[in-house]
Chains A and B, each alone.
Chain A
Amino acid sequence: MAEQVVERPAAPVSPGERGRLWRRFRRRPMPMTGLVLVVAFLVLALAGPMLTRDPSAQDYNAIMMPSSGAHPLGTDDLGRDALARIASGARISLQAGLLSTLLALTVGIPIGLVAGFYRRWLDPVVMRLVDVVLAFPFLVFAVGLAAILGPSLRGVVLALSFIQLPQVIRITRGEVLAAREMDYVAAAIADGSTDGHILARYILPNCAGPLIVQATVAIPIAIIGEATLSFLGLGVQPPTPSWGVMLTTAQQYLDQAPWLAIWPGVMIALATLGFNLLGDGLRDVLDPRSGT
């Protein structure tokens, strides 16, 4: 007849635990490699364009030159400095990755919170809509959006955030469903808290871990997405230097100037790898349930 109490692990992070989590994170080589790559990418995107030449300046005496002292990564078909264009492209990638993810979080978290907390009719409706969006081929949607808005960074960001939305909503809702059953939420109701207060101070902070992980996983996907759309001519337009745009040009000159394709490709790979390693590390630390 004895009632057993299953000891549940406390929610992933509480303020006093941060130091311990950081020490656990720092000891692992892969997440630290990811952190270094991400920091390098951020420095390149933020400081790079200020330190390099004008990415649009053409030098007709140096067309498709291999790397040299003046142009460390060589020049493209119009005599523009590849390093300067890589740095400016990093800025575009960063904008596409961060803005689309932020937009998806800003829109998705409130929807997930409300659907998971109130359930009733809203929850099934939202979840079916999420299924519909998930079933939508990304490129078809991006082409449609480009047709409406005209190909631009704005269209890329909107399309990328739209495809991230279902994941954000699903993760938030799932976490809310678990958190709302905790006794501390019942206690908050007994304290006389309003629903808004409970959502903001009890539910949301206790779903933050998986959402941070989701964000770091979504950013590299968005970076690749931006490169893909720009490569196909649906995103950033020349002469703006996006890594995808640079690849489009480079494929015409693969024989004469392979470095024009190699450097943007390497950059996309490294930036994506960095965020993915970082995200995996954060997931291990913040979200023990999905542990490997």
Chain B
Amino acid sequence: MTPVLEIDGLVKHFGAGRGQAVHAVDGASLSIAPGEVLGLVGESGSGKSTVGRCILRLTDPTAGTIRLDDTDITHLSRRALRPLRRDVHIVFQDPYSSLNPRFSVGRIVGEPLRRHRVASGRELADRVAAMLERVGLAASLSRRYPHELSGGQRQRVGLARSLILEPKLVVADEPVSALDVSVQASVLNLMTDLQRDMGFSCLFITHDLSVVKYLADRIAVMYLGQIVETGPAAEIFASPQHPYTQALLSAAPVPDPVEQRERSRVVLGGDIPSPLDPPAGCRFHTRCPVAVERCRTEEPALVSRRDGGGPVACHLVTGADVPDLTAI
């Protein structure tokens, strides 16, 4: 089956003046099968949102290719891209800036239908009402304006807008991280249900591993513009291979207080290095607790593990014996 989305060697550099460039994404590759949810995980500044924006061509990639349903969209003009936008949409992190304050809720949700001339008049209103109810909002909200809604309601409106054309792929860029924890859970449950019912593929971008634990089929971990490990979600959670994935996992709290107290943790020092001047060799070596000399000079490739698990970009995992970080 052809993947819904296939990204190969994606590079995005932002000019930062004086010949410098921010290496936001530096050679990321991933693919999503029909109906699959891929969790793209990484900390702030890892470039995960830029990947999402490149897929929608909200920013133009510097190099690499993006294929949607076997169509290369990397260099399509905005005009040529427009009809393809029926199949992809995006949910943003900030529910306050993602809705036009001058449009009513009904107008916002119905815009994709109008722009692609899919429905109008009575039919449009009916479809908007049905979609609003599907995301758990009363159809009567369609006459309200965004500033009259709560953050959770706004995010549901954003979800309704991105799903009303029944796209094949939804890019969800930190869709719940701006919400209260109690609201997060209900929006996540809603997304899980909708994904199961409608069967769209989803690139779920988040910095919080616990958010994608139950939602994602596969997980890709990103660090400083590169994907360092991918694999089935269960496998990543059960036996993370890359030291960075291990650190990310141990940063997510465990709900059981006894277990939380007992477990050993990998704590990273410092901040993510500047993407203006990424470290040579393995980009993670400056913070890696187990880095060796080779990591400082030679960049590890994303290669499959010897035991057949998902690919990892780490000399220690793919080259020699896997060090048990938790024993340090």
Q: Which residue of A lies closest to B147 (CB)?
A: A10
| A255 close to B (CB within 8 Å) | no
CB contact list, A168-187 vs B, under 8 A: 182-184, 186-187
Q: Tell me if A75 counts as interface (CB < 8 A to partner B).
A: no
Contact A192 B147 (CB under 8 A): no
Binding site for A on B (CB under 8 A): 43-44, 53, 56, 58, 78, 82-83, 85-86, 88-90, 92-94, 96-103, 111-112, 115-116, 145-148, 158, 161-162, 174, 177-178, 207, 251
Residues of chain A within 8 A (CB-CB) of B96 are 7-8, 10
Question: What DSSP secondary structure best describes chain A's contact surface?
Answer: helix
A54 within 8 A of B: no
**Residue numbers in B under 8 Å from A197 (CB-CB):** 115
Q: Interface size bucket, A side?
A: 20 to 34
User: Contact mask A1-26 → B, CB, 8 Å, 1/0?
Assistant: 11101011011001111000000000
Residues of B within 8 A of A11 (CB): 101-102
User: For A16, what are the chain B residues with a Cβ–Cβ distance below 8 Å?
Assistant: 145, 147-148
A191-B101 CB under 8 A given contacts A3-B207, A186-B58: no
Report the tally of A-B residue pairs with Cβ distances under 8 A.
Answer: 98
Q: Roughly how many angstroms separate A15 CA and B82 CA in the complex, as a whole number? A: 30
Given contacts A5-B94, A206-B100, 4 further A-B contacts (CB under 8 A): A8-B94, A187-B92, A187-B98, A201-B102
Which residues of B have CB within 8 Å of A3?
44, 93, 174, 177, 207
Beyond A16-B145, A190-B56, A190-B89, whether A182 also contacts B116 by CB under 8 A is no
Q: Is the CB of B102 within 8 A of A206?
A: yes
Decide: B145 and A188 in contact? CB cutoff 8 A.
Answer: no
How far is the CB of B95 from the nearest CB of chain A, in Å? 9
Contact B174 A14 (CB under 8 A): no
- Give chain B nearest CB distance to A261 CB in angstroms: 49
A182-225, CB under 8 A of B: which get 1 and which 0?
11101111111111010001100110000000000000000000
Question: Which residue of the partner chain B has the closest CB to A12?
Answer: B101
